[in-house]
Amino acid sequence: RVAVEILIPCRSCARCLAGNYMNCRNRIGSHGGGNPPERQGRLTGGYAEYIDLHPNSIVHPMRGDIPAEIAVMYNPLGAGVRWALEYGGVHLGTNVLVMGAGQRGLAAILASRYAGAGTIIATGLTRDANKLELAKEFGADYTINVEEENTVERVRELTGGDGVDVVLDVTPMAQQPIRDAIEAVRWGGTIVLAGLKGHKPIELVTDMLINKALTVKGAFSVDAAGYENAIKLIESGKFPLHKMQTHKYGLDDVEHAIKLLAGEVPGEEGIHVAVMPGR
């Protein structure tokens, strides 16, 4: 079994040669410019029984006995690993706040616990109750329902007033988590921003960034090292990843699967949704 990265670099431009292939100007894939003329009419997406791999595709080996629906978690797990450990610098004893309990938030919690983090705190909404319970199974020490508790006050209470070392925001569209992150992180701490906000401007008191000597990083994509570490984590079998895998669909139900993952199916909640040709 292999894992294939979702963008294809040219491998010859200055950025690729410097190791920053995720930002290759000529890349093809989810962060690139769509399907160039030479790719039109070829099977380049994942919603098919077969896929045409470009010669520049980056392929990672994975043990063949791992169920396909678990194996494909290398993608969100790769994000959690890179965003928490590389961008956030989470290591033994680090206190972490993960804002957002979707699959990438859960992956960041799992990666942080795997790295030996100290106190891990996760936030979510009332509708995220099941996800927050899973967050505890993945390694979170405490969870916060932001609709019932004040995030900043609770974090300060749990950290003796100091705040956490690292905050990772993976919430989509919501602006308040960024303001809370600045308040909840300790002096000299790190904030990693990974949740897109729809290009909407956000009011911030930037003096707090200066006075608290904060490091703020934007988390862009996942690299080969992130995927390789995610695969090692999957192969370790140390975490109940099957509990994050909530739904499996065949190709005829791709539209429903996408809507479910986006939270647009009333009465149904999904965390990790797999599309499996032949199902």
What tokens appear for 100 in the block? 């957002």
Q: Looking at residue 14, what is its pLDDT?
A: 93
The pLDDT confidence band at residue 43, using thresholds 50, 70 and 90, is: low
- Within the chain, all domains assigned CATH 3.40.50.720 are found at 74-218
pLDDT reported for residue 272: 94
Cα–Cα distance for residue pair 10/118, rounded to 1 Å = 40
Between 213 and 261, the higher pLDDT residue: 213
Asked if the model's pLDDT at residue 174 lies above 60, the reply is yes
Higher pLDDT, residue 279 or 122 = 122
Residue 155: per-residue pLDDT: 98
Instruction: Report pTM.
Output: 0.89
Mean of the per-residue pLDDT values for the chain?
90
CATH homologous superfamily, domain 74-218: NAD(P)-binding Rossmann-like Domain (3.40.50.720)
Dump strand ranges (E) for 12-95.
28-29, 59-61
What pLDDT sits at residue 144? 98
- Alpha-helix runs per DSSP H in the chain: 14-17, 68-71, 74-81, 103-114, 129-137, 151-158, 176-184, 206-211, 224-236, 254-261
Q: What is the pLDDT of residue 157?
A: 98
Helices 151-158 & 176-184 angle (0-180, nearest 10): 20
Q: Among residues of the chain, what percentage have pLDDT more than 70?
A: 93
Mean pLDDT of 257-262: 90
